């Protein structure tokens, strides 16, 4: 097919909305939430943010997720990380749903759970579309389960998407936050299944001389399987001391 033969989109074609990419500034917006108006991401300058969407209020998977997030809110806060949720439902629906969670729902031993982080009203779907949370192939009127981890400078550092049917793994989301902060603070990378206390990856040598020194064992504390694959140990206590907010449980 030549360029001139490419079909011209019609008004009936499904619009495809792009999404912010890793390394992009988080798109800015103002919004009404269950905790008052917010100016995002400006209100969170200096903090990490887990910004996530959910498909709809009064749905069971979303209920289980919000209870889990709320129960872990202080754990995220201990790593200077705030939670911000979004769905395309209205504010009053949000309030009624969160009250129902607190008053009626028990899940995995959690009950009387109060959600105190902001839940954004996005009836127009403008914010969801801005962040690529609406995927017509999954549902054209509900946001998929998107997660954006945003750093203190307002830059997107991680993007994770789940379908409507799949609840998120919240231990993994907290692990992501810890790994990003560890990589930033110690100038390292984290290997598969890394958790604090595991070996970290040392950036590849930038010269033949450095590579040889590492392979010869002259780079103290660094263990090399080959010139490009080198690791070192950082104690979990040292990581916690570096990235954990003082006084946070």
Q: Which among 116, 155, 130 is positioned nearest to 33, based on CA atoms? A: 116
Catalytic site residue 230? no
Binding-site residues from annotation: 145
Nearest to 128 by CA among 52, 41, 42, 58: 52
**Catalytic residue chosen out of the listed positions 62, 208, 224, 230:** 62
Cβ neighbours, 10 Å, residue 238: 15
Contacts (Cβ under 8 Å, ≥6 apart) of 74:
248, 249
Residues belonging to the binding site for substrate are 145
Residue 39 to residue 43: CA distance in whole angstroms: 6
Structure tokens at 117: 């982080």
Which residues are within 8 A (CB) of 117 and not within 5 positions of it... i.e. 6 or more apart?
Answer: 35, 69, 70, 73, 82, 83, 84, 85
Q: How far apart are CA 151 and CA 128, in angstroms?
A: 20
CB 105 within 8 A of CB 63: yes
Give the residue numbers marked as catalytic.
62
């Amino acid at each position: 097919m030549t360029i001139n033969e490419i079909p011209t989109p019609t008004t009936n074609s499904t619009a495809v909305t792009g999404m912010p990419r890793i390394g992009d500034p988080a798109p800015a917006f103002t919004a009404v939430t269950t905790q008052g108006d917010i100016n995002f991401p400006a209100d969170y300058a200096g903090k990490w943010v887990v910004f996530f969407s959910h498909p709809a209020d009064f749905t069971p998977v979303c209920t289980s997720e919000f209870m889990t997030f709320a129960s872990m809110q202080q754990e995220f806060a201990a790593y200077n990380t705030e939670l911000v949720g979004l769905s395309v439902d209205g504010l009053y629906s949000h309030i009624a749903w969160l009250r129902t969670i607190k008053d009626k729902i028990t899940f995995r031993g959690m009950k009387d759970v109060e959600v105190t982080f902001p839940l954004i009203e996005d009836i127009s779907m403008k914010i969801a579309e801005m962040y690529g949370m609406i995927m017509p192939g999954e549902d054209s009127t509900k946001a998929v389960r998107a997660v954006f981890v945003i750093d203190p400078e307002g830059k997107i550092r991680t993007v994770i998407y789940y379908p409507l049917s799949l609840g998120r793994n919240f231990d993994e989301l907290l692990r992501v936050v810890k790994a990003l902060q560890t990589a930033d603070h110690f100038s390292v990378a984290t290997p598969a299944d890394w958790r604090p206390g595991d070996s970290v990856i040392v950036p590849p040598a930038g010269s033949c001389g450095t590579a040889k020194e590492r392979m010869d064992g002259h780079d103290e504390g660094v263990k090399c399987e080959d010139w490009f694959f080198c690791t070192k140990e950082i104690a979990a206590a040292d990581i916690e001391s570096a990235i954990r907010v003082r006084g946070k449980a």
